[in-house]
Structure 1
Amino acid sequence: MDVLWAPWRRNYVVSTAAKNHSNCIFCKAVQDIHSNNYLVYKSKFTIVMLNKYPYNNAHTMVAPIRHVPSLELLSDEELLDLMKTVNIVISAIKLCYNPDGINVGANIGRAAGAGVEGHLHIHIVPRWIGDTNFMAVIARTKVIPESLEETCSRLTECINKVSNSGLKE
């Protein structure tokens, strides 16, 4: 295989990668944890944010701190921390919201429906029997009974209880 070396292209590649990271909601949250980004938890390798356009109350996103597009690119340590954090969030949601079920999933890549393609994240969505009511079907409107600010405060408190007590860690 021939390799074409074009060192003058490096600046372009680096600047393009930087642009992608600078627009990433997860990277922004890591850089400025005090801004209003609805960050509810941070571990050594992982952050947890509320989804600003939630399907239900406490719809959270768990993401590695490192900007990677897919699970297989994580180190073993990052992967373990990611999954432990998913467990902490599930326990906290159960404690705080008592849902009838929980959806956990990742949309990896544009074809899979990823809204933020370049930064892997796992959605955790609490579900209740009957949570899709007539408003969503008839009026194409979703009723979320709790503000994001209230959810952020409530879920942060529950995550702290769960993670400090050693549950699921």
Structure 2
Amino acid sequence: MTAGDGGPTSVFEQLWTPYRMAYIKGEGKPTGDHDCPFCLIPAMTDEDGLIVSRGETVFAVLNLFPYNAGHLMVVPYRHVADYTDLTTAEVAELGAVTQTAMRVVREVSGAHGFNVGMNQGAVAGAGIADHLHQHAVPRWGGDTNFMPVLGLTRVLPQVLAETRQLLADAWPDHPPAPGPAA
């Protein structure tokens, strides 16, 4: 098969997603801390902002556009773009809150695993590149099927407000302080 007879030009089938060009070009993305959602969320109620927990230097918030149910982000209050610009206290709390997030999501939903990480810069895929945030995405065996892959649809078993409440209720009042391992 060739491009001339309507078939693919290689052994790989292609799915075209031209609507992604707006995302790639940055249309509608915040351009500074005045319109940064991660700067605006802490001023909201926990329910309105989907905040699960507030720490000293970071907060845990549900992703408004989750990859999976229980997809949390750990975000510094300070508007900072790069991981290397975090203070020692911010790095320590970011790690401790990420650990707590994983424990709580595992307890509440029985997650089998997690994708944890951050995209540094727009070219690395950061949707909001100017304000660092770390994702904790719960995973289950078989959670990727034809719906997200071909149907471009995510199946979430619960509305975000209910997920936020379950996680907030299970969140310990004071996550373990970072320190040397015993």
TM category (shorter chain) comes to: 0.7 to 0.9
* 2:118 aligned to which of 106, 119, 122: 106
Higher RCO (CA 8 Å, separation ≥ 6 residues): 1
> Does residue 82 in structure 1 map to residue 94 in structure 2?
yes
Contact preservation (8 Å) 1:87, 1:168: no
* 2:151 aligned to which of 139, 150, 161: 139
* 2:109 aligned to which of 97, 109, 133: 97
Pairwise CA distance, 1:34: 4.8
Amino acid corresponding to residue 123 of structure 1 in structure 2: H
Contact preservation (8 Å) 1:29, 1:35: no
Q: Alignment identity in percent?
A: 34
Amino acid corresponding to residue 76 of structure 2 in structure 1: P
Query: Which residue does the alignment assign to 1:10?
Result: none
Unaligned runs of 5+ in 1: 1-18
Query: Which residue does the alignment assign to 2:19?
Result: none
* Distance in 2 separating the partners of 1:32 and 1:140: 31
TM-score by length of 1: 0.81
Query: Which residue does the alignment assign to 2:81?
Result: 69
Size of the aligned set, in residue pairs, is 148
Query: Which residue does the alignment assign to 2:32?
Result: 20
Matches within 5 A, 1:22-41: 22-34=34-46, 36-41=48-53
Deviations 1:12-45 (A, max 9, x none): xxxxxxx711211111012234561101111000
| Shift in CA distance, 168/142, structure 1 to aligned 2, threshold 3 Å | farther
Amino acid corresponding to residue 45 of structure 1 in structure 2: T
Runs of at least 4 residues off by over 4 Å: 166-169
CA RMSD of aligned residues (A): 1.7
Deviations 1:95-133 (A, max 9, x none): 111111111010110000111111100000000010012
